[in-house]
Structure 1
Amino acid sequence: MAPPHRGTERTARKAVRTDRHPAAPRRRTLLAGAAALGALGAAGCSRVATASSTKGGDLLERLRAQGVVRLGIAGEIPFGYIDRNGDLTGEAPELAKAVFKRLGVDRVQPVPTEFGSLIPGLDSQQFDVVAAGMYVNKERCEQVLFADPDYQMLDAFVVRKGNPKGLRDYQDVVREKAKFATGTGYAEIQYAVDAGYRESDILIVPDQVAGLNAVEAGRVDVFAGTALTVREVVKKSAKAEATEAFAPRVDGKPHVDGGAFAFRMAETNLRDAFNAELRKLRKSGELFRILRPFGFTKAEMTDMTAKELCAQ
């Protein structure tokens, strides 16, 4: 993920990455699957567990009774998406399956939405938890309750082969007056603005595939996303390449993002139970085994906590 670190959140996401698999689904397939499941999720909204007045929340008990937890996803490879067979997968859904199984909830059900609609959808109880690899930042911490991050991530750029403008960070983009694009709701919007790029000049595209297309077609010089997003999306491109990963600067200091599950503010009991199982998976090495097929490396494993990211 990686939506705005600060400022107004737009209509969709974070930072995408792609693939897990030998044959990644085409964007059209992903959108068709998301649309079909979105209709299914909308039709079943009345069955989503309602808010609790119990201290710390009793959502976990109700999910156990129902036997299913609804996951808000944003249709992004590799975070959470519907594959070409119509199955839910991605690093967050696969991790959710493992954690909730341990918590006594055997089934997960996707509710696809745009990235920018994840927090509003969670608040309005369209689903029970956000499982989209959402970046933890101070502004979001005022709206949702985060689990500890299950991964950390640097940024990277999609550029034309040979990187003709020598773009390696946001400061380079500003200095070279490069045409800059990133995804809807990405944190990279704010990183570019912090570096001095005028927000009104940023081309906002739906996802990393559209960003790659824009670079290949010469409409922009660079597309910014997470390092994993970028290195996966360029794999089959003959015209574009990924830059080396780098840490964007926030308040003048290098910043490393972390992605996590998000819960409604009152559901501390569920968040704490989730964190307890996440720690066990991390300690045993199972967390990395779950994330590795989606392109994550050991460099993306982290011991950061939501508390420290919320304070930044």
Structure 2
Amino acid sequence: MARPHAHPHAHRSGTPDRSRSGIGRRSLLVGAVSLGAAGSLGTAGCSRVPDDGKVLGGSLLDTLRDQGSVKIGIASEPPFGYIGDDGRATGEAPAIAEVVFKRLGIDEVEPVPVDFGALIPGLKARQFDVVSAGMYINPVRCEQVLFADPDYLLLDSFIVRKGNPHGIRTYADVRKKGLTLASGKAYAQIDYARAAGIRDVLVLPDQVAGLDAVAQGRVDAFAGTRITVKSVVAGSGRVSATEPFQPVVDGRPAYGAGGFAFRLSEKNLRDAFNEELLKLKQQDYRELLEIVGPFGFGRDEMTDLTAKELCD
């Protein structure tokens, strides 16, 4: 069985947590999303659309090759996926998408920005062909979409006051010391904190707002992934980032492994994508690191976990 790449800051023992019901890096927020146009999307040939929930082979790969383009859903969240200054999709996931789809004979990648909570509903409603947003893979989501194998594995970190005066290292430290904590809107870190016994978590729009809240003394720490915390703390003289750590829920590691999501009816496309992704991971992840390195991802974020392990 494939195991996660050993991280220098954490022990990876046992299999991925199969008892966990948490949502992932971002909550689904399905009930809060309104897709008024969903009923009219994809109506051409609708009699051939498989029932929701059925895993079939699908012909979307052939369709995308014929038209030469693919629509990817992104959530405007650096460094995972966002629109760059040139109007094109950029970030860790879109950069992988461009390489993989080109190798599949699809030259043009067209971004469709939506709220994170609208990604799975938008995929189902055929607003786009694949979710390209670094979405955490977990059993709850695996019931709704097909995931490719994860292309990264992240630890958590805190934004704290300069020098970390409270000595915060984990969620348990925040609870035991009676400190105040914030996190981003719909971040998985909210669930991790509550699992550690922290009742009140201030929810902020993003890590930039989190940095300001810590610097102004409104909270003692802001929880996020190592990547998001590092990106916002870099160059700031007001705050610090704590050492990355492995979140634990119910005594088991809560793996932050993200990947691409496809409709349940498009197994052929998912499998073809997965095959090319596996090639990028060969030779000690050399090609994959060349693609994701500019967005802050390094050898420590690489993993050989599979979607099957994370979904089971």
TM-score range, shorter chain: 0.7 to 0.9
Partner residue of 1:221? 220
Could you tell me how far 1:142 is from its partner in structure 2? 1.3
The answer on 1:6 being equivalent to 2:25 is no
Change (3 A) 1:217 1:49: farther
Change (3 A) 1:81 1:92: same
Partner residue of 2:242? 243
Could you tell me how far 1:138 is from its partner in structure 2? 1.4
Q: Over aligned residue pairs, what C-alpha RMSD do you find?
A: 2.5
Structure 1 or 2, whichever has the larger Rg, is 2
The answer on 1:181 being equivalent to 2:182 is yes
What SS does structure 2 have at the residue aligned with 1:278?
helix
The answer on 1:95 being equivalent to 2:96 is yes
Could you tell me how far 1:63 is from its partner in structure 2? 1.0
What SS does structure 1 have at the residue aligned with 2:119?
helix
Could you tell me how far 1:49 is from its partner in structure 2? 10
Task: Describe how 1:24-63 pairs up with structure 2 within 5 A.
Answer: 52-53=49-50, 55-63=56-64
Change (3 A) 1:47 1:215: farther
Q: CA-to-partner distance for each residue in 1:271-290, whole Å, 9 max, x for gaps?
A: 11000000111115211110
Higher mean alpha-carbon deviation, 89-98 vs 134-143, is at: 134-143
Q: CA-to-partner distance for each residue in 1:13-36, whole Å, 9 max, x for gaps?
A: xxxxxxxxxxxxxxxxxxxxxxxx
Partner residue of 2:124? 123
The answer on 1:193 being equivalent to 2:194 is yes
Higher mean alpha-carbon deviation, 76-85 vs 130-139, is at: 76-85
What SS does structure 1 have at the residue aligned with 2:111?
strand
4+ residue stretches of structure 1 with deviation over 6 A? 45-51
Residue type of the alignment partner of 2:182: A
Residue type of the alignment partner of 1:93: P
Partner residue of 1:294? 295
Contact 1:49 1:63 in 2 (8 A): no
Contact 2:42 2:125 in 1 (8 A): no
Q: CA-to-partner distance for each residue in 1:238-278, whole Å, 9 max, x for gaps?
A: 11110000000022123332110011112111111000000
What SS does structure 2 have at the residue aligned with 1:167?
coil
Change (3 A) 1:180 1:47: farther
Task: Describe how 1:33-182 pairs up with structure 2 within 5 A.
Answer: 52-53=49-50, 55-182=56-183
Change (3 A) 1:215 1:49: farther
Partner residue of 1:271? 270
Partner Cα distance (1:9, 1:258) in 2: 14
Q: TM-score, normalised by structure 2?
A: 0.83
Q: TM-score, normalised by structure 1?
A: 0.83
Structure 2 gaps, min length 5: 1-19, 31-37
Partner residue of 1:16? none
Residue type of the alignment partner of 1:251: D
Could you tell me how far 1:5 is from its partner in structure 2? 6.0
Could you tell me how far 1:55 is from its partner in structure 2? 3.6
Contact 2:80 2:91 in 1 (8 A): yes
Could you tell me how far 1:180 is from its partner in structure 2? 1.1
What SS does structure 1 have at the residue aligned with 2:257?
strand
Residue type of the alignment partner of 2:27: E
Partner Cα distance (1:85, 1:266) in 2: 33
Partner Cα distance (2:60, 2:206) in 1: 33
Partner Cα distance (2:238, 2:144) in 1: 41
Q: Taking every aligned residue pair, what percent have the same amino acid on both sides?
A: 57
Residue type of the alignment partner of 2:162: K
Change (3 A) 1:47 1:299: farther
